[in-house]
Amino acid sequence: MKAQDISREKSAELFEKAKKYFPGGVNSPVRAFKSVYGTPLFIEKGDKAHLWDADGNEFIDFCCSWGPLILGHNHPAIREAVQAQLGKGLSFGAPTLLENELAELILSNNKYIEKIRFVSSGTEAVMSAIRLARGYTKRDKIVKFEGCYHGHSDSLLVKAGSGLVTFGETSSAGVPKAFADETIVISLNDKKALEQVFVDFKDQIAAVIIEGVPANNGLLIQDKEYIHFLREITKAHGTLLIFDEVITGFRLGFEGAAKYYDIQPDIITYGKIIGGGMPVGAYGASAEIMSNISPDGAVYQAGTLSGNPVAMAAGIAALQVLAQPGFYEKLEKTTQQFVEEIRSFVTEKNYEVKIFTVGSIFWFAFTAQEKIQSAEQIDPASMEKYKVMHRELLNRGIYFGPSGYEVGFISAAHTEEDLNKAVTAIKEALMVTFEG
């Protein structure tokens, strides 16, 4: 049975005001709730796995700020680390001990990179990695995959996922043709397309970039064999392989998708989790590749707020928890149990929905297909079902991201009680989605 709509009065009022200030009333497009029901919820506070909006509605949060909050909201160790730093200063634009500490924590537990550079967002990390690849190889072209989102820098806003696919506009206006021409887009999970691109653009491709596990256009889990093929073909052509681990880094494990696939990428980008909820991104590679970055080398990249001390303090506190033995195993097990319960329900009911999952990431796909590994396999019409489910979930106190192309996350703060409550609500929401 359909649940009664929650009150959105206060949120609606705030949204009307916000529309006067910001394009579409928001500072990042998907937040506008354009592809789901109703006005966006204005969030007042979060604690552990729970969120409260301006109308006083309480939700169990499966969006987790789009991934960074692997420890939930208001984690005591992160809060205390940030508070301790606040009294010492917010920004110096000069080196601090905290940058060393976060770098040491990452590098000593990650065999895939030898040096790292901190920036302030995932977009900045990937934009810088692309420049580094171009500077290092002295080539211009890059290859990306349809549906993979790598932030909003010009070269990468071509056939991208996330907000672009949500709004049915896979490439952005305002990107000069000359830039877009340097970005070649091919389908995921297509070895032939990959071989052909190296024939068509022989000795011109600086880098191939792929999301560790593509998670911005649904969750498109690639076969290990395909990723190894990608590694071999790039190596054979002197092309760098960039793993964009902004979502998968420190989410699939401390060593992210590189470890998951057992692959040595040439450059890895990070974001989200490494800031513990504060704005941070990073890119890393071998010492040899990183020596091309200024001031050691000729590839320029800088930032007033890079390595910001408050963000570093939050990141250190977060990663110290994640580095503890058994952290990821436990989170993964919890996720599996959660997903399995829903899977057995949908199988029993014979509903046309699949729940794909990797690590503590999950995605509801309204499809009969057993596997979805490329963007083209997703039927945009299936998003109508997501819209119904999303409304029903919000009305039952469950917060999923406001787009069916986006994935969900489980955090260590989700308790058994939270997850049991969510499973019941999801079952009810699916019944309304499929049976009205």
Shortest gap between Cβ of 64 and ligand PMP (angstroms)? 12
Q: Which range in 4-12, 42-50, 146-154, 362-370 contacts ligand PMP by CB under 6 A?
A: 146-154
Give the nearer residue to ligand PMP in terms of CB position, either 198 or 356. Answer: 356
Q: Does 121 participate in binding ligand PMP (rule CB under 6 A)? A: yes
Give the nearer residue to ligand PMP in terms of CB position, either 54 or 69. Answer: 69
Indicate which residue of 48, 141, 272, 354 is catalytic: 272
**Cα 297 → chain centroid:** 30
Give Cα separations from 306 to 80, 99, 301 (angstroms): 21, 10, 10
Alpha-carbon distance of 353 to 334, in angstroms, equals 21
Q: Virtual CA dihedral for 65, 70, 75, 77, nearest 10 degrees?
A: -130
**Inter-residue contact 114 to 290 (CB < 8 Å):** yes
Q: Does 126 participate in binding ligand PMP (rule CB under 6 A)? A: yes
Site size toward ligand PMP, by CB under 6 A: 16
Shortest gap between Cβ of 113 and ligand PMP (angstroms)? 17
How many C-alpha atoms does 262 have within 13 Å on its Cβ side?
3
Q: Does 166 participate in binding ligand PMP (rule CB under 6 A)? A: no
Angle (CA) 18-19-24 rounded to 5° is 115
Shortest gap between Cβ of 246 and ligand PMP (angstroms)? 3
Residue 21 catalytic?
A: no
Shortest gap between Cβ of 28 and ligand PMP (angstroms)? 8
**Cα 46 → chain centroid:** 20
Q: Which of 229, 318, 228 is nearest to 271 (CA)?
A: 318
Shortest gap between Cβ of 220 and ligand PMP (angstroms)? 12
The DSSP code sequence of 33-86 is: -TTSSSSPPPEEEEEBTEEEETT--EEEESSGGGTT-TT-BS-HHHHHHHHHHH
Q: Which range in 121-129, 136-144, 296-304, 425-433 contacts ligand PMP by CB under 6 A?
A: 121-129
Residue 149 catalytic?
A: yes
Give the nearer residue to ligand PMP in terms of CB position, either 54 or 256. Answer: 256
Q: Which of 271, 275, 277, 359 binds ligand PMP (CB under 6 A)?
A: 271
Q: List beta partners, residue 240.
A: 207
Shortest gap between Cβ of 313 and ligand PMP (angstroms)? 19
Q: Which of 35, 57, 123, 373 binds ligand PMP (CB under 6 A)?
A: 123
Q: Which of 61, 99, 211, 392 binds ligand PMP (CB under 6 A)?
A: 211
Looking at 157-203, list the stretches that DSSP marks H as alpha helix, in order from N- to C-terminal side.
163-166, 177-180, 191-200
Residue 244 catalytic?
A: yes
Give the nearer residue to ligand PMP in terms of CB position, either 99 or 244. Answer: 244
Give the nearer residue to ligand PMP in terms of CB position, either 121 or 433. Answer: 121
Indicate which residue of 53, 61, 244, 418 is catalytic: 244
Give the nearer residue to ligand PMP in terms of CB position, either 256 or 271. Answer: 271
CB under 8 A, 24+ apart: contacts of 50-54: 50/418, 51/399, 53/10, 53/11, 54/10, 54/11, 54/14
Beta strand segments in 318-428, E: 354-358, 361-365, 398-399, 408-409
Angle between helices 224-236 and 191-200 (to 10 degrees): 10
Q: Does 122 participate in binding ligand PMP (rule CB under 6 A)? A: yes
Q: Which residue has the tokens 């580095």?
A: 323
Q: Which range in 149-157, 310-318, 343-351, 426-434 contacts ligand PMP by CB under 6 A?
A: 149-157
Residues 6 or more apart whose Cβ sits within 8 Å of residue 191: 226, 229
Shortest gap between Cβ of 123 and ligand PMP (angstroms)? 3
Question: Which stretch of DSSP H or E encloses residue 126?
Answer: helix 122-137
Give the nearer residue to ligand PMP in terms of CB position, either 14 or 126. Answer: 126
Indicate which residue of 112, 149, 328, 399 is catalytic: 149
| Sign for the pseudo-dihedral over CA of 219, 224, 227, 229 | negative
Give the nearer residue to ligand PMP in terms of CB position, either 278 or 342. Answer: 278
Cis bond before residue 295 (omega within 30° of 0): yes
Q: Does 66 participate in binding ligand PMP (rule CB under 6 A)? A: yes
Buried b (16+ CB within 10 A) or exposed e, 33-47: bebbebbbbbbeebe
Contacts to ligand PMP from residues 227-246, by CB under 6 A: 244, 246
Contacts to ligand PMP from residues 273-292, by CB under 6 A: 281
Q: Does 247 participate in binding ligand PMP (rule CB under 6 A)? A: yes
Catalytic center residues:
149, 244, 272
| Contact set with ligand PMP (CB under 6 A) | 66, 121-123, 126, 149-151, 162, 211, 216, 244, 246-247, 271, 281
